[in-house]
Structure 1
Amino acid sequence: MENIVTTLAGRYEITRRLGRGGFAITLLARDIMQPSKPLCVVKQLRPNRAHPRVIEFFHKEAKILEKLGKHPQVPQLLAHFQEGENLYIVQEFIAGHDLSKEIFPGKRLSEAYVRKLLKDVVEILSFVHQYGVIHRDIKPQNLMRRQVDGRIFLIDFGAVKELGTLVVNTRGEVASSVIIGTPGYMPNEQNLGKACLASDVYALGMTAIAALTGVKPIELEENPETGEVLWLQRAQVSAELGEVISKMVRRHFSLRYSCATDLLQELSTPTQLLQKSSVPSIIYPTISSVSTPTRFLTSPSIINFWKRRQVIKILGLVGGGFITAMLGHRILQGAPKETSNENNDSKILEPENPEKLKNKITPKPVSKSAIVLKSFGFEVVTVNAKGDIADRQILSANYFTEYLGNNVTLDMVQIPGGEFFMGSPADEEKRSDDESPLHKVTIKPFFIGKFPITQAQYQAIMGDYSSGLKSGKHPAESLSWNNANEFCQRLTEKTGREYRLPSEAEWEYACRAQTTTPFHFGETITTKLVNYDGNYTYADAPKGEFRNETTEVGSFPPNAFGLYDVHGNIREWCQDTWQENYKNAPNDGSAWIEENNNTHRVLRGGSWSNLPAYCRSAFRYYDDPNYGYEDFGMRVICSI
């Protein structure tokens, strides 16, 4: 990449270029200082002159972006810094697609779609306008629909673009050298360099018109006498919504809604222009129930602002709908109790009537904290027959964080329910008979650790780690099944939630992540993707490195569910007692436990010391529950 370094600030490893404009280069990067190497977006800004006043203005504007990023539907500002002549903004990566994939010429969308769109965006824009910030470039390309839950995000603020166009005039004043905006979406006053809050209202109105008419805004005719946009005759829309949108796009800003909050009030009048959604409440909550959390309302200035706007009343009228998840396999298929908790900015779940722990675990009464779902983006790779990466895909997943004390946390990833074929087909290379017969299993939704339990996590719960710490980020090793089971019991007692080892079926389902190949990334395996004994090969892949020890969790790409280290690194204990094959195995995903017949317990996943064939998704191993060898570890499940 021309004029682009591979690592910024010693931590942001550039993966590839996402785009390039007149003001900035947009890059996809990984934060190598984080165990899971989360993806982020880096914007390299190129001001005309790195004058001290420009740098001062840069930091000032970055602070504004940091405040805006506190809203759950605005990408968080992760860092801002200068290297050489360039200025850098690092923001949260939102996995999904922009609305230009939904709103485009020739396609007319329904009034229901537009009502929902307005409700979502106006809620976000009200928060932005509260800070006096003008976005200046609202259009479909700057509205992202997050893949994991379908929520709308507002991205690419004008402030970011302006930072790349800063100059200092002869009086030492910082100024922008260009007008920010997009023709067709940009109102007259903005084109003259005098943008105001009502300019964003105009752009959002033109976005709604583009959706209703299927016509590019710049191609719409204007009334020759008044200059007003002529659009109603091209759309099928109710009189109420048509009147609101027409007011949003009045030629003169004084005739529009003055800001997004005024528009929000209009949309929340007793006519209930935006009706509540009829989507069942077990899916995802609307932003009206979570996007204005208490932490936004705690400062006196914000409280007074929202009181003046009567937003408490507004939220009661606008809220109550639910966003349908974009990906069906991401939807919880159970029936968790959903609560509205304004202290959080994400989905809130409370366990409802949890079953008693298996293996006679009886938790002490503990006050359970609510589960707050967040999402993370990650890159999934697929390899060809020789083990070379043939494809890359950006995905995202939901998770919640359990706080274990002493600054130690545990991330639990949401796994959707579904069906899969457990075991290996007869033609899979180096398979064993104990992986037969191939049989269909139905799995209920659950949460599972993003990583194997680390040494730091084990020590936080158990109080000591007798094997000696390599690093808090290495997996806990030399664990017996009894050690693993006791860890689950203590974690359950600490959190008040049921934690346990996965069943064999749950483990394999989570490992495969809806794939049927020997490994979740394809037909073969390499030491660039997995920690195993690279002196041996599988299929057509070459030999590789033998590290002779565990690696830190998250050192290799995850599977499509967002789980790391499911192949290699450390073997993971399961609940099940060992069975020689799958004849008469449960088909409901439950653990197969027959303690009277066999006390040996199952391990899955392979390890750093294993042959590559032992790291396959279907491979099974077992050992005495009292023994814990140097490549035995664990991963936990939380059922809701």
Structure 2
Amino acid sequence: MSQCLNPDCKLVNQPNTKFCQRCGNKLLLADRYRAVQIIGQGGFGRTFRAVDEHKPSKPPCVIKQFYPQAQGTDTLQKAAELFEQEAVRLDELGKHPQIPELFAYFTQDGRQYLVQEFIDGQNLAQILTSEGYFSEKQIWNLLKDLLPVLEFIHKGQVIHRDIKPENIIRRSNGQLVLVDFGAAKYATATALGVTGTVIGSAGYAAPEQGIGKAIYASDIYSLGVTCIHLLTQVEPFELYSISEGDWVWRDYLPNPISKELGQVLDKMIQGATKRRYQSVAEVLNDINGSPIAPPKISVPQPPQPKFISQSFTEDLGNGVKLDMVYIPGGTFTMGAPVTEEGSRNSERPQHSVTIKAFLMGKYPVTQAQWQAVAKLPKVNRDLNPDPSRFKGANRPVERVSWYDAVEFCDRLCRLTGKAYRLPSEAEWEYACRAGTTTPFYFGRTITPELANYDGNYTYGSGTKGKYRQETTTVGSFPPNKFGLYDLHGNVWEWCADHWHSDYQGAPNDETIWLSSDKNSSRLLRGGSWYDDPGYCRSACRHDLNADYDNLYFGFRIVCSAEWT
């Protein structure tokens, strides 16, 4: 079915309908997301189960619509800010498996929307109602599962501020997912000392949240209250005695629990912040030291790429080597979110892409490598053996067109018998990111000490620095986690694909994306020594005629991993 998103209509239309049969409202958001059913509604918005029409399997997702029903300009403005803030937080927290992934955030028909991952499962409030109170073992497992998630968001300087059973969903495999970051805030050193918005759910919010001063320990408090509620199946207000000024939750336990768990929970829910756990690390330390707790809890670190023996060096003769690095296969989100500084519509919609393993040049092709291959017999076109303006054997070759780069690959194929070619755009971005989701593979900002670009300009919180006004020797700056160098700046790198104005209809694998127009321009990635840092982002795309060359343009080659 197709649910109309117009709050004044709400008609459920037949599947595949493009416009509401009652009010004429457009049913597809961003021409791809179709609401199927209303699954939630509150004072400031509605939530829909939805599908992504651009995916063959039409996987489920969630649409959140900002639809305020409260009155008052200040209230509405704050609600709108919180809605946008939720999109920012989801995007910033990246691809943690226990936080919903943000797919899109935009405005359509005058209303704000965000689209995020659908978490298939029940929240803990629903489970408590259907299955009854939790056992001690279930609480230990809950802490083991969720504390590392809290550690992760706190390291990202974010406080959730609304942890409660309704905001914790249990997947079908038992894994817990923390949802609803609408109340989350940055926890910078300045913000922690400033009174802000009073926010949080009554009964679960820490006392300091009542005066607008949430801290990291506020989330620990809320998680502790969630645990005693699940243990007793009694509302938090009844578990605290006003007359005694203390928690009396043990009086409501259906079964006794261990002293060790009781001590951990007591310290989590201390009203006085000085007597409460100050950090997740302190909670984990006590739990890991408990003789009856489950196996040691550790905060998972992002998986590191495994470099294997399939990397190799091609001998081009006369001491010239070409290093090829093995890039393991995987899935990533291609493109930039709307919240990324300097991003463009050509970098959207973001979409999931699965890449097969391949090999990629450790550096952009150097002048020494170019000269070695240019001496080889012609395949389709002549090559200038020394085209570069900025001379240096180990500087990247520049002033080469797309056709020149293809000829280089063709000659190398004939010499070695291996399938060398230009990378597809998807392969290039996957290799550049190396598992990261930030604008650059080394983080959210960039400085001239990390890459070669026009240092007169800044990005994010970066600082100005040296503008070198020329290329630099390859490998002069830090590599990414795959061991690749110079992907940000130095020279733009040609890709095999034709240019498309955005990612509508883009492949979901490493396929080279061609168009029917043979004269279509070709893709360049990575920025150059001449450009400001925004052009050096992992997601940035540029296009030019295939026969155009300039002192900003070079290339990097790839090779199939199958021959190994």
Relative to the length of structure 2, the TM-score reads 0.47
Relative to the length of structure 1, the TM-score reads 0.41
